[in-house]
Structure 1
């Protein structure tokens, strides 16, 4: 960059809403000053993503008094050198998941070995994986061909085989793809991008079979040897092809790419960048979640290993009916703190799917959405755990028949007892009317163990900061620390179960003002203590003999914890969390919990 970046405008084109933020240099640091949003316009009647972008930026113009647009053009660079400090911006950057994001199909030889490695590579590049095809996935050849033909992905990633190994299975899969002759989702005139990242020995045959039928590109083998995954080259190649091919076909993206001063990133990839940055900077284990209208992305960094999964069918507007289908009505009903009949609940969920941009108008509607969000978050974490695993198929004595029977299983890397931080992002968490609601949604869905800090993205700007960090890391970091992350507080959750009202643990909390809070935490209790982000408290707990706080059953523990805008939460509800089956008892228990954290007035 030749000129300094003092004024930056960034947008995130989501499936439902396009969000714009203005970042300005104030003194020596960068701050987020104004934001605007508008409905995304990738679909009919507009079919031009830039309309929503310009509408969101127009809102920032109105609020800030700065002239940013000249017709349909963003004024860059900033005109302050020409004597008008309130005209123009230095750079415009953007992320996007509009139009359903990047939809990919991946192929491997063994489903839970190279197939899963390919899936991880695609997910890490910000893609939604619509299917995983493998030689041993149990489908007949004609079923595979039919599937490839009907799915219409934006891109295919082929993997399989270690370097120097057999090529027959990989070549067979290429022949299925050639027979299917798949058409891309957008743009009928161009060839489908295909990345081959399998056994290098098979490249000449792959080129012969698919070179004419697809826009073929090669990347280093994802699994060069069984003991090692090499995902970065394939991820980078996917990202490049996404910009070159897929983005060019989506309505209005050509214009958007020309407007932007840096490559457009898929929203999930941008959020992943910022999550990895936090974990590395602070040396912690974290789980991050971005719950959107169509998808829920989960990110984790454990012992420096980054993983991302996308649950393409779990979201709060377009995919809300899928949450109902996957979780089941009973699982959603168990979080609703009032009596409601099944049909009314179903109707409300369907209404949201039909009108995805509406927001709750009453407390009842809000609580139903929060109940659905808990289930979407819970299911997305289960999905993430199943994919964030160690490498499968190594360090075990097995025969080839075991491989094809899929008896192998990598151990999940997600250990909730070693988790330091949960970061929540997305409309339902960022825009909850009260921060305690966000904290409770994440605690109920994730059931953290032991001591965990929780935070939320203040106004949903992680994607913007992820793409900004590729241009100016200081600006992204400044805004992230000062304006983006809102620390909610710390949750201490003993592991174990007991009868409601029985002793779970005795606690002693040394508060910063010198007071000592002593008491007993019973099973079924939630307790909240005021403790700000700047304050620390030392908590000593002596659990009942069957209860574990991380040091073993019955062992006491002492820990100094940080507060937040909500404070310190002691969660005595037991792990795993169980709610009464009978509706009246369940509603009474939920009401009790909400009263304990100040969401309901006592006696209501």
Structure 2
């Protein structure tokens, strides 16, 4: 595929099938397929990669290591440190059971290499018989540490990378880990990051792309100069990854986002069915509510991982938010917006839009393959749908919000906890007393004023929780309709 191609075929992976797009002046969907064609560029999650971390100097390198693994979209199956109080045999067994494809060893200096000895011995005892043996990525700029660690890590193949506390080292490590995931074509992660860069360039402001699929959750922030902060968390999703969301969050935390009472066994059965039937369309309101609840928790845990890597606040601040994947495919405009507002906890006015049927993902992948990403900003406008503008109102006191829509000026006195829609359309200027004004795209919903206390705190008892959550759904007109009986 080259930049001069008139039409390019792109197959975008879903969980159990592929969506083919013909990318030309006006991208069009072609068909659903059971597999990716040899005649098309494929876009998908790639091959799962299991990473074990040996962190003899974890306290010094925690943030950098987490940023690398999150940006690379790998699954961290074990994080082993010298402070692990398990006996040697249990540590070795943990490595054997984890069955890693890659072992990441970040070191700051020679002292870290000396502390690596006991961890390297556990690796040798646990994984020497594994075939193929895991590849070791040794990330350090200290030559003496390289010599000592390479000796300790024998007989495993070792590749030396720069210090991951520096931009060059992080980029090299992310590239190596992504190379291990890539089977063919373009990774979905790469397409999402290209979309974020293109929107930021077009808007001349930071952009946030939020992607939830059946088996992954991604949050990508880009600024106009091209800097990207990204988390790609696997296997958290709303399809095959649904059970991982429940395992991590717990049933009660998933259940709390459903605007009616549901018992744990019923919810667990529905989660199991989501994992068994990939790409199933949520037709019943119970199934739709479950998908929304799973998306809430998946995004929340992705943000928690980002916070542990030191970039959590950064991913909650952008004037342009773009939803893709299964999150964008949720029916109507109100439901995906409600998920984004609840889970992200935006801290500044923003415009929220969404992709249509992964069109933006297909266009971005074609541009990456053709080395033509400079044309992306205008191409993405073809598939973008504006949903709503949002005005977060901070603080525990009453505030004044001004909305300028053309010649109309509306002053809203906002009480703490308020959550409602102002019915305006198009580009509007909004401002909260004491903060500079901002311009947002109202979209089909209008402008949402959100003065709920952050972080959102839901009552434990259903009698108090259900009315609160149902009230938020009703405020946006997002309540799923009950099934009609013929």
After TM superposition, the score normalised by the length of structure 2 is 0.85
Alignment pair present for 1:332 and 2:332: no
Report which of the two structures shows the higher radius of gyration computed on alpha carbons: 1
State the partner residue of 1:434: 332
Corresponding position: 1:376 with 2:376 = no
Q: Tell me the equivalent position of 1:88.
A: none
Does the alignment pair 1:483 with 2:382? yes
Equivalent residue, structure 2, for 1:363: 285
1:53 is aligned to 2:48: no
Hey, what does 1:525 align to over in structure 2?
418
- 1:231 to 1:281, Cα distance in 2 relative to 1, 3 A: farther
Q: Distance in 2 between matches of 1:166 and 1:579?
A: 44
Kindly report which structure 2 residues correspond to 1:249-398, keeping only aligned pairs within 5 A, or say none.
257=184, 264-279=185-200, 282-301=203-222, 305-389=227-311
Q: Tell me the equivalent position of 1:62.
A: none
Secondary structure class of the residue paired with 1:490: strand
Output one character per residue of 1:92-147: Cα deviation in whole Å (capped at 9) or x when no partner: 32233255x23222323222333542332233233222222233444543333222
Q: What's the CA shift for 1:165?
A: 5.7
> 2-side partners of 1:320 and 1:10: how far apart?
27
| Residues 1:586 and 1:3: Cα distance change in structure 2 (over 3 Å) | closer
525, 536, 551: which one pairs with 2:427?
536
Q: 1:88-167 residue pairs with structure 2 within 5 A?
A: 92-97=40-45, 101-162=48-109, 167=113
Alignment check: 8 A CA contact 2:198 2:377 kept = no
Q: Which residue of 1 aligns with 2:139?
A: 197
| Separation of aligned partners in 1, 2:459 and 2:412 | 26
Conserved? CA contact 2:207–2:319, under 8 Å: yes
Select 2:120's aligned residue among 164, 174, 179: 174
Higher relative contact order (CA 8 A, sep 6+): 2
Q: 1:546: which partner in 2?
A: none
Offset at 1:476? 5.9
Using the TM superposition, give the Cα deviation of residue 490 of structure 1 relative to its aligned residue in structure 2, in angstroms: 1.6
Which residues of structure 2 form unaligned runs of 5+? 482-486
Structure 1 residues 6 and 582: alpha-carbon distance in aligned structure 2, compared to 1, 3 A threshold: same
- Cα deviation for residue 151 of structure 1 reads 1.1
* Structure 2 residue 357 is the aligned partner of structure 1 residue 454: no
| 2:366 corresponds to 1:468 | yes
Stretch deviating more after TM superposition (314-323 or 571-580): 571-580
Deviation at 1:582, TM superposition (A): 4.4
Structure-2 change in CA distance of 1:221 and 1:377 (3 Å): closer
Which residue does the alignment assign to 1:220? Answer: 162
Distance 1:265 1:200, change over 3 A: farther
Q: For residues 251 and 55 of structure 2, what CA distance do their matches in structure 1 show? A: 36
Mark the runs of 5 or more structure 1 residues left unpaired by the alignment. 40-51, 55-72, 75-91, 248-256, 258-263, 390-411, 499-503, 543-549, 552-556
- After superposition, the C-alpha distances for 1:244-281 in whole angstroms (9 at most, x for unaligned) are xxx4xxxxxxxxx4xxxxxx343324423432444356
The 8 Å contact of residues 388 and 445 in structure 2, kept in 1 or not, is answered as: yes
How high is the TM-score relative to the length of structure 1? Answer: 0.70
- 1:471-527 deviations in whole A, cap 9, x for unaligned? 2325860565223433322211212347xxxxx334443322x23334443444332
1:7 is displaced (CA, Å) by 0.9
Q: 1:313 to 1:97 in 2, by over 3 A?
A: closer
